[in-house]
Amino acid sequence: MQTELVKTDAVGLESQPLPENDTQKGDVSRIPLERMEEHPLWALLSRMTVVAMAGIPLSEFKIGDLLRLKPGELIESDWQHTEDVPVRAGRVQVAWSEFEVADQRLMVRLTRLT
């Protein structure tokens, strides 16, 4: 099955099935691709920065809790320490990860791509 690169927003690109009779020539956002690296604008796209975030939900966290926070306090979550943490680029989940400490810094280790 052929795919096409579709404009989403400034944060990401996604691949979707190519419609049967889609021949919009000149529109590089709809060129049939086997791989994203084949896109005519790949040299530019591959150098663009994107904000990636890894985080866990705090389902019972309220605005009042936020306003009462003090340095050193712990915030409880329902997330199990053995579960991988989702990594998102914009609104798109791109990977799963786990947190790790190395050289006194908190790191994110990718465990699998989505």
H/E stretch holding 44 = helix 42-45
pLDDT digits (tens, 9 = 90+) for 76-111: 898 998 999 999 998 899 999 999 999 999 999 999
- What is the side-by-side order of every strand in the sheet holding 92-102? 52-54, 85-89, 92-102, 105-113
Residue 2: pLDDT band with limits 50, 70, 90? very low
Judge if pTM exceeds 0.85.
Answer: no
Domains for the chain: give ranges and CATH numbers: 3-45 (no CATH), 52-113 (2.30.330.10)
pLDDT digits (tens, 9 = 90+) for 8-57: 444 444 544 444 444 445 555 566 667 878 888 888 988 989 899 999 98
Q: Please enumerate in sequence order all residues whose Cβ is within 8 A of that of 7, keeping only pairs 6 or more positions apart, or say none.
A: 13, 29
Rounded to whole angstroms, the Cα distance separating 107 from 59 reads 23
Rounded to whole angstroms, the Cα distance separating 32 from 48 reads 22
